Structure 1
Amino acid sequence: MTQAGSTQDAAQDFTSFGDSTLQGYLDELAAKVPAPGGGAVAALHAAQGAALVSMVARYTTRAKDAENRPVIDRIIQAADDSRNRALALADADAAAFTAVGSAYKLPKDTDEQQAARTEAITGALLGAARVPAAVVAEADEIVSLATELLPIGNPNVVTDIGAAADCARAAAASSQLNIAINVASLGTGSESEFAPVFTQIDEVIARADALHADVVAAITR
């Protein structure tokens, strides 16, 4: 999602991102349609970061890695689970965006209709902000897993740990924008719910940057 506060085009039928081809997704992203947009991109950044962590971990199952196998197996499972959740969040973002557009289209001719419309808009905007907040949680998880993997991961694919951190950073930073615009549309009273998320975003970005630097140091020393 890129914006939630204005009237949108008619709701569309979306193909789940898990069922889309890469070309089909990019064509939709480039098209003049309300969704997919930045919210889906953020979720897919997280999914790619999780997939990279899984890949590096699966390359760290050699005989020489036997002593770390319980940790590696746990990282693989956690990263696979995170990838699945992030992919589902891309679909959830499209649904949330559609809900906001539908709420703004509700009739407002009577006092009762205006009240119902206002309530629907508030609920939809909250939902639209909560999706990227969940993406931030996945980004946090990915950075944690990648950080844990770096000292024990197969050094032949260590740069992919850095790439995973970069994906998580992008997911968090993009989600920050999508949360902020929906919170701004909600007005006063909603900031307290999302204040911890904004703090978490800053922490994820800082940790991802530090991990990227650690990977650069590992390959240049």
Structure 2
Amino acid sequence: MTSSPSATERTLREYLDAVAAGSPAPGGGSVAAIAGALAATLGEMVANLTLGRAQYASVEDVLRPARDRLTALRTALTEAAVADERAYAAYRAAVALPRSSVVEQSARKVAMQQALFAATEVPLGVAEAAAEIAALLETVARAGNPHIRSDAALGALLADTALLGALLNVRANAAQMRDQDRASTYLDDADRLEEGGRESAARAFQIATEEVP
């Protein structure tokens, strides 16, 4: 029996068809990760259309490490899109465990909670990456070729979308946790990332949409 291809193995058309199909995965968590990866790619594009050009030599030392970090985050988020699908599958497997006896019911509840923790770590990581991408896009918008800053602006919007989309899952999962201390930690992390990440995305968008002198 062969498994379905993951987000990294599908063509764009196949991935969109899979999201649109009548199954819960890939779903919002995977899509949020892909949105973040797209945000990173736009930042990389602006950087790559700036680096190596004589008139922008003064910003190379700032822009090159930002570009390289965006590349790493793009890779991580592409992998996270796959991890999100797998985490959801693991949770559904826990839900499907037998529950005909008290012992089985107890084991099922434990398995569900453990799977829920794992399924929350993935979107939390996506949110962290999206917030960092938003901050890097500030750098790209400031230092990048001003004639293509609109692409950095779109990147900022996508980073914001990825952040909010991932945090929807973090908060939804936290609401189902029996461990209130752990749930509270996840919610605190979500609030922190939302505040900082959205501020960065807004600044990047503002910088990128300023009129070119």
| TM over 0.5, shorter chain | yes
The match for 2:135 is 144
Alignment of 1:1-221 (within 5 A): 13-61=3-51, 62-187=53-178, 188-194=180-186, 195-219=188-212
C-alpha separation in 1, matches of 2:140 and 2:208: 11
1:63 deviation in Å? 1.2
1:156 deviation in Å? 1.5
Runs of 4+ in 1 over 4 A off after TM superposition: none
Asked whether the equivalents of residues 42 and 152 of structure 2 are also in contact (C-alpha less than 8 Å), the reply is yes
SS of 2:143's partner is: coil
Asked whether the equivalents of residues 131 and 197 of structure 2 are also in contact (C-alpha less than 8 Å), the reply is yes
The match for 1:9 is none
Provide the aligned C-alpha RMSD in A. 1.6
C-alpha separation in 2, matches of 1:117 and 1:166: 40
Q: Provide structure 1 residue ranges, at least 5 long, that are not aligned to the other structure.
A: 1-11
Asked whether the equivalents of residues 135 and 204 of structure 2 are also in contact (C-alpha less than 8 Å), the reply is no
C-alpha separation in 2, matches of 1:14 and 1:124: 21
1:215 deviation in Å? 2.1
1:171 deviation in Å? 0.4
AA aligned to 1:126 is F
1:72 deviation in Å? 2.1
Q: Provide structure 2 residue ranges, at least 5 long, that are not aligned to the other structure.
A: none
1:127-177 per-residue CA deviation (whole Å, 9 max, x = no partner) reads: 111111000111111111111122210011101111111111000111121
1:214 deviation in Å? 2.6
Asked whether the equivalents of residues 123 and 167 of structure 2 are also in contact (C-alpha less than 8 Å), the reply is yes
Percent sequence identity is 31
Between 168-177 and 205-214, report the one with greater CA deviation: 205-214
